[in-house]
Structure 1
């Protein structure tokens, strides 16, 4: 008759697993504290699997460990929409703002204010020379327009520059009754329209050149 094979000895991992089941049974009220202490002492003194099985034979089988919900990777972020072909984004935004301002001024003063027949300054400066016209029409938006008239004329100004100025000092001064009259219509916003005679303009340009030379020499 063959001799039965001896049971394989257990280790601390198996003892710890059974002790966990005993602790769970204590927490659930299936074992009293005294019963747990007795069985825990026998658990850590056990040598074989059958010693451990005897300690939990009257306890329900352990619940299978809850499977962790499969963690799906976060959705990849949607790519940023590619800018439309043509000008860079900042230029298109600036162009949109300018367009809105232009539209607003156009609605306020009418189309001629921004589609001035003789000169329009948009974000810059411009000079308009007058020869024999009887009427001059200029517009300005975030810029300046210089209207230069002959020395032998007298200027009458019309129009409005909102948040700006329409300047006409010497050119609008009263002269002899024989002087020819020129009407300067200036409209716009956030800028200036400066009307001056040719001699006044030449002096102004000479002063600017002298100041520029002084700044470079300093």
Structure 2
């Protein structure tokens, strides 16, 4: 049996009706002066050329207006609310060891990650957030940190590397606006901090294996 990938919701096909809804939002934005005529023309061309929900979502994300209310799997497959709950641990520390934090946990307003000759993996796929904005402070020395951020969480990465690096690959896929905001900052000294989209499932017969984008 050949391998089959579980569909990425943002890559699901949009309908003509979906495109028309987005077009109406853009036209209303032009009427309110949010878009000039040139911008409207550019975005309308993108609307009618769009094949997937992931291509439609960014076209209205910066307008500060009611959304097109697309019946998008991008929205349907995400939790109705990620905000609220009793804050979980405020630290993840790996010293010559490893920490793997995933599943249902509540990210506090501030969470510190320390990886010294060790590794830390934080997966926010199913996490809730104590507040609408959270900061993850990272200190990595001869270690590695991987943070998985789903598409309904806005991420801002501004850490510094000293013979190391903060690498953000989430820009490769669109962010669904309106969710929590996570700032990832800190310093990586001879170490690496990677910010990625969550792992997806790859089906092989009866078995599932995790793959990364």
TM-score category, normalised to shorter length: 0.3 to 0.5
Higher CA-based Rg = 1
Judging by fraction of residues, say which structure has more strand. Answer: 2
TM-score by length of 1: 0.35
